[in-house]
Amino acid sequence: ILGKLAAFGVMTHVAAALPGDASLAAHQIALSLFFFVSPFLEVISQTAQSFLPRYYARSKEDGRYGERADELSARLLGMGVLVGGVVTAAAA
């Protein structure tokens, strides 16, 4: 967490040091969107990390769960791409 705070602090300092107010305003909007969307993307990440290992461990034993794991990973990837597209469209 300390690394994230340091990185955000440096980015804000650099944006504030640039001439004009537009760069700082753009940085503030992008940072606000990032903080707004992070909890939603974190849920997708935690879901993938908690459900997928169980399917992959069972697929090595009998080979039946490999298809379900692939379906779940494709569904989670699609959700991530969709949320990323929405955020990109909102930021543009």
First-to-final CA distance of the chain: 28
Instruction: Specify the DSSP class assigned to residue 40.
Output: H
Helices 22-62/2-17 angle, 10° precision: 150
pLDDT in tens, the chain (92 residues): 678 778 878 877 887 787 888 877 888 888 888 888 888 888 888 888 887 777 767 655 666 666 777 788 888 888 888 888 887 887 77
Cβ proximity of 83 and 44 under 8 Å: yes
What pTM value is reported for the model? 0.54
